[in-house]
Structure 1
Amino acid sequence: MCFRYSVLLITSRVELTNLKCIPLDEKFAAFDYCRIKSVNRSFKYLSLKIKLLQVPITNISVNVSLLKRLNGYKPFLYNITFDACKFMSSKNKNPLINYFYSFIAEHSNLNHSCPYIHDLIVDKVSIEFLNHQLTEILPFPEGDYAAYTSWYAYGKNRADVQVYLSKT
């Protein structure tokens, strides 16, 4: 008796489709740049820089919402608000928040606790890195997604950043 096995390798890909940075209090902070840069057909990355106009900042909260496109963008899995200063100074980090933070941790200067006295930079988060996070670390089903983040300082919403991507 002879058996033949065939192995089918299925890979999924993540594609950045849009990035929106919305300053809500231009006396507090302003975006120097907010862009998706395409180096060639297969290499894209996102970068943003926000200039803080009222430093030092000692009180920051962040709301992260994950949405999936189903006749418009609808809530999908997570909508969490956390104290960023406590999170950054904590030794026991919340695993869910840490997962979202891992998307920018190696690519930003947000890697210390409060106060923040400098511009905030997220630099060259590559599509390959996002693909790894969304297919191998925590696999997501295929579809169009949006991650909405709202950044609060002293209880007031100061800026929103929205990242749109597609997973095939």
Structure 2
Amino acid sequence: MCGTSRFVVQLIVILYTAMEVCSKFEFTNIQCTSLDKEFDDIEYCYIKSVNRSYKYISIKVKLFKTPVTKVNAALYQRLNGYKPFLYNITLDACKFLRNTDRNPVAKYIYELFNGHSNMNHTCPFDHDIILEKLPSNFLNTRLTDVLPFPEADYLLETHWYAYNVNRAVIKVYGTLS
């Protein structure tokens, strides 16, 4: 192969590689707040960074009373502060868990974490709620291949209600770059 054709092949490989877009989701912060200590308490809520490429979140909420009946989930994108982005849904948790196909947006959000949680059955929840070791690389596929999101900083804010009273707020911050 002469020098010119080798250069052209190398240039094509470089251009092809540069055109491939690889997005990556990463957790940046998590905040869990119990608004009624007689109803629930947050035992732990953290991001664990095992190494540069593997991070996960874990949450454990101790329930002293049941049931959680309503959940509100809102997605925000950071643009001069966090602004509403695409989704803000409120639903009856027990009805949704009986038939997750009734609300495709809620199902998409639910599928982001249900495999790493003990919230994978219908009501009643008469036990602690645990989300254990949800890795950011699991969310990479959901947020880049299944339903592509633009690169930005995001906040998923959830409010957990019982008897129409807000009992807990969980905020998960992440960046898609």
Give the TM interval when normalised to the shorter protein: over 0.9
Select the structure that is richer in helix: 2
SS at match of 2:101: coil
Shift of 1:100: 0.3
Q: How does 1:66-145 map to 2 (within 5 A)?
A: 66-90=75-99, 92-145=101-154
Whole-Å separation in 2 of the counterparts to 1:91 and 1:145: 24
1:42 aligns with 2:56: no
User: How many residues are matched?
Assistant: 165
Listed one character per residue, the Cα deviations across residues 115-150 of structure 1 (whole Å, up to 9, x for unaligned) are 111000001110100111110111100111101000
What stretches of structure 1 move > 6 A for 4+ residues in a row? none
Q: Which residue of 2 aligns with 1:54?
A: 65
CA RMSD of aligned residues (A): 1.6
Whole-Å separation in 2 of the counterparts to 1:30 and 1:92: 31
Residue type of the partner of 1:88? L
Q: Which residue of 2 aligns with 1:16?
A: 27
Shift of 1:71: 0.8
Aligned match for 1:164, one of 159, 170, 173: 173
Stretches of structure 1 that go unaligned for 5 or more consecutive residues are none
Q: TM-score, normalised by structure 1?
A: 0.93
Whole-Å separation in 2 of the counterparts to 1:91 and 1:71: 35
Residue pair 2:101, 2:107 contacting (<8 A) in 1 also = no
Relative distance call for 1:139 and 1:123 in structure 2 (3 A) is same
Listed one character per residue, the Cα deviations across residues 7-65 of structure 1 (whole Å, up to 9, x for unaligned) are 2321011111000001000100001100000111110000100000114x2x5111011
Query: Which 10-residue stretch deviates more, 91-100 or 41-50?
Result: 91-100
Residue type of the partner of 1:46? I
Shift of 1:91: 6.0
Q: TM-score, normalised by structure 2?
A: 0.88
Relative distance call for 1:16 and 1:92 in structure 2 (3 A) is closer
For the pair shown, the structure with the greater C-alpha radius of gyration is: 2
SS at match of 1:109: coil
Residue type of the partner of 1:123? E
Whole-Å separation in 2 of the counterparts to 1:44 and 1:115: 31
SS at match of 2:139: helix
Residue pair 2:100, 2:107 contacting (<8 A) in 1 also = no
Q: Which residue of 1 aligns with 2:38?
A: 27
Whole-Å separation in 1 of the counterparts to 2:43 and 2:172: 17
Stretches of structure 2 that go unaligned for 5 or more consecutive residues are 1-7
